[in-house]
Amino acid sequence: MSSTPSPTRQLTAGSTRVTLFDPFAGPPRINSARRVGVRPGTELIHPLAVTGERPLRFEVDGLPEGLTADADGILRGTAPGEPGDHEIRVRVSNAVGTSEATVQICVGSVLALTPPMGWNSWNVYGERVTAEVIVKTAEQMVANGMRDLGYQYVNIDDHWHADSRADDGAPLANPDTFPGGIRPVADALHALGLKLGIYSDAAHLTCGKCFGGFGYEKIDATSYAAWGADLLKYDYCYAPRDRASAKARYTAMSQALKATDRSIVFSVCEWGRRKPWLWAKDVGGSYWRTTLDIFDTFSWLFFGVRGIAHRNLKLADYAGPGAWNDPDMLLIGNRGRGHVTSRLKIGPKGRSTIKLRGLDDAEALSHMTLWAMMAAPLLASHDLATGNDLDTALLTNPHVLAVNQDGLGQQGRKVRSAPGVWQLVKPLANGGVAISFTNVTRMPRTVEADISGLVPTGELMVIDAWSGEELGDVRSLAAKLGRHESVMYVARPVGAATA
Ligand code: GAL
């Protein structure tokens, strides 16, 4: 049995070593989340997400009636009609090895048992999103291995809409940019084993002034389900300021979604203004934005990675399986090219614009480290054709993604550490722990930490997550961190599962 990914190229982000793993080389590694939520009697599409040399041979035992695994390891079918957990045993072999894992299909009301992973159109395409962009991105996610590392959702954000609804009130897609409507897009994604996300707003208009969902919850939810949607991001522009109204409006849409025959993850996007961590879970939200929109910068006040992480880190108590704090999408790969994220509007009425250069290599690595450690939804949002090798390495590191997707579902917490260095600790389901250090200052810092009090007793295997190097049974960690650099380690009891 083997689960060590196959390294291909050694890169650096600042002084941090990063390995670019080839997702199609080496022995099989099962990257799927170990717990998958689905509502009773609804469609399940779930890729077992296996990297390694092709061809792969899948053996899946214990699937409940109604579900099958296809030759690409994608579970498909209809979930059992009654709530309950089903353990399936997965064995995958190829010419160089075999890997085994147990995956739980949890039939019930809770979806997103691990943070959703995928892609969203907004940061890079803004109002220019089209059906072609969505399908092309989905194909790229299969071709570049992202699907096999666990990325599943391809989310259409604002501006998919026609100018107005149909005469009967049904939502309509823009006939120029989505010529066949949304359904063929969902079909194309589902055929690849991926899922479709759609977007609306709890008012009469969306933030981009397309028609919103308020008052049309039932017909919208029914239409989204008929189109094959698997996720709805529900924004809050043009809606009343108070929390009671927000709760009522999110409840109305969540109930409409639950009345459909699909499992639709509900993403609450009111930017943290009404403390959604206190109520969004109760109104059916699977994750909720905790801040305003992220911009492509590390340290620009609260718009950048550091400010957003600073706020999100304080909310660790509220995160858990099925209910995640969302510090907004990933900027990795944008490098200042994002149509939306690289232009920060400031001043009276936002009349002045600052052009942002984007994250440098070390900052991009720190961004991914923090989001993985915070159990944040991982939604890439760049043109997948333009990311360089380092961006790919940052988005597809199996050790880092396994920490984010860990079944215990704990958000990493800040523990005491050196001034200017954030030390985060995230307990893992296998009894181990992930530990990261981020230098949030512009000056070099030295980190020396005795981790004995943080890790389990007994023999340990510590790995450097970004390089994949096995460090053995060590209890003290030391690193020199340049401006905005991070390091990340995973310590697991010897003999425990790697993920
Ligand atoms: C914002 C939201 C962004 C994006 C945008 C679309 O309110 O935070 O993520 O969805 O609206 O107009």
Q: How many residues does the chain have?
A: 499
Tokens of 269: 């996007």
The closest-lying atom of ligand 1 relative to the alpha carbon of residue 328 is 9
The closest-lying atom of ligand 1 relative to the alpha carbon of residue 122 is 4
**Ligand 1 geometric centre to CA of 498 (Å):** 36
Nearest CA to ligand 1 atom 9: 293
Q: Which pTM does this prediction carry? A: 0.97
Q: What pLDDT score was predicted for residue 387?
A: 80
Ligand 1 pocket test: which of 201, 210, 235 has the largest number of ligand atoms within 8 Å of its C-beta?
235
- Please name the fold of domain 117-404: TIM Barrel (3.20.20)
**Ligand 1 geometric centre to CA of 235 (Å):** 7
CA pair distance 480, 492, nearest whole angstrom: 23
DSSP state of 52: S
**Ligand 1 geometric centre to CA of 454 (Å):** 38
Q: What pLDDT score was predicted for residue 417?
A: 74
DSSP 204-269: SB-TTSSB--TT-HHHHHHHHHHHT--EEEEE-TTS-SSHHHHHHHHHHHHHHHHTSSS--EEEE-
List the chain residues with pLDDT less than 70: 1-7, 300, 497-499
The closest-lying atom of ligand 1 relative to the alpha carbon of residue 157 is 10
Parallel/antiparallel/unpaired status of strands 378-380 and 117-120: parallel
Tokens of 321: 């399986």
Q: What pLDDT score was predicted for residue 498?
A: 64
Ligand 1 pocket test: which of 206, 269, 294, 330 has the largest number of ligand atoms within 8 Å of its C-beta?
269
Nearest CA to ligand 1 atom 11: 207
Region of residue 455 (left: phi > 0; alpha: psi -120 to 50; beta: else): beta
Q: What pLDDT score was predicted for residue 148?
A: 98
Does 235 qualify as catalytic in the annotation? yes
Q: What pLDDT score was predicted for residue 418?
A: 82
Q: What pLDDT score was predicted for residue 327?
A: 98
CA pair distance 281, 258, nearest whole angstrom: 14
The closest-lying atom of ligand 1 relative to the alpha carbon of residue 199 is 10
Q: What pLDDT score was predicted for residue 2?
A: 43
Q: What pLDDT score was predicted for residue 336?
A: 87
Same fold, 7-107 and 413-493: yes
- Please name the fold of domain 413-493: Immunoglobulin-like (2.60.40)
Location of structure tokens 């992930």: 434
Output the CATH code of domain 7-107: 2.60.40.10
CA pair distance 405, 114, nearest whole angstrom: 5
Q: How many helices (H) and strands (E) does the chain have?
A: 9, 29
49-90 residue pLDDT tens: 999 999 999 999 999 999 999 999 999 999 999 999 999 999
**Ligand 1 geometric centre to CA of 302 (Å):** 16
Q: What pLDDT score was predicted for residue 1?
A: 40
DSSP 372-418: HHTT--EEE-S-TTT--HHHHHHH--HHHHHHHT-TT-PPPEEE--S
Using CB distances shorter than 6 Å, the residues near ligand 1 are 122, 157-158, 206-208, 235, 237, 269, 271, 293
Nearest CA to ligand 1 atom 4: 122
CA pair distance 279, 463, nearest whole angstrom: 38
CA pair distance 351, 343, nearest whole angstrom: 12
Nearest CA to ligand 1 atom 6: 158
> 235, 326, 391, 464: which one is catalytic?
235
**How many of the other CB atoms lie within 10 Å of CB of 285?**
28
The residue among 145, 134, 123 whose CA lies nearest residue 379 is 123
Domain extents in the chain = 7-107, 117-404, 413-493
Q: What pLDDT score was predicted for residue 295?
A: 92
**Ligand 1 geometric centre to CA of 102 (Å):** 37
Parallel/antiparallel/unpaired status of strands 470-472 and 460-464: antiparallel
Containing 393, the helix (H) or strand (E) segment is helix 389-395
Phi, psi of 383 (to 5 degrees): -75, 110
Contacts of 190 (CB under 8 A, 6+ apart): 45, 196, 228
Cα dist from 388 to 187, 335, 393, 410, whole Å: 30, 10, 9, 31
CA pair distance 97, 1, nearest whole angstrom: 7
Location of structure tokens 């009967």: 168
